[in-house]
Amino acid sequence: MKLAPGEMPLMITLVRQLAGVHLDESKGYLIENRLGPIAKRIGCTNFNELYFKLRYDAKSTLVQEVVDAITTHETSWFRDGAPYDALQFKVAPECIDARSRSGSPRKLRIWSAACSTGQEPYGIAMVLSEMLPDIASWDIQILATDISKSSIDTAIAGVYSPNDVGRTQRPNAMQRWFDQTPMGAVVKPAIKKLVTFRQLNLMDPLLGIGPFDVVFLRNVLIYFDKATKLGVLQRIKNVLMPHGWLFVGGTENLGEAGPEWVPQTHCRATVYQPNVPVRV
Ligand SMILES: C[S@@+](CC[C@H](N)C(=O)[O-])C[C@H]1O[C@@H](n2cnc3c(N)ncnc32)[C@H](O)[C@@H]1O
- Residue-wise pLDDT tens digits, 16-28: 999 999 999 999 9
**251-260: Cβ within 8 A, 24+ apart:** 251/219, 251/222, 252/218, 252/219, 252/221, 252/222, 256/226, 256/229, 256/230, 257/229, 257/230, 257/233, 260/233, 260/234
Q: Residue 68 CA: which ligand 1 atom is closest?
A: 25
Please report, in tens digits, the pLDDT of each residue of the chain (280 residues total). 999 999 999 999 999 999 999 999 999 999 999 999 999 999 999 999 999 999 887 788 999 999 999 999 999 999 999 999 999 999 999 999 999 999 999 999 999 999 999 999 999 999 999 999 999 999 999 999 999 999 999 999 999 999 999 999 999 999 999 999 999 999 999 999 999 999 999 999 999 999 999 999 999 999 999 999 999 999 999 999 999 999 999 999 899 998 999 999 999 999 999 998 776 6
Could you tell me the domains of the chain? 7-70 (1.10.155), 82-274 (3.40.50.150)
Q: From atom 13 of ligand 1, which residue's Cα is the shortest distance away? A: 114
The CB of 154 under 6 Å from ligand 1? The reply is no
Tell me if the pTM is above 0.95: yes
- How many angstroms is it from 216 CA to the middle of ligand 1? 11
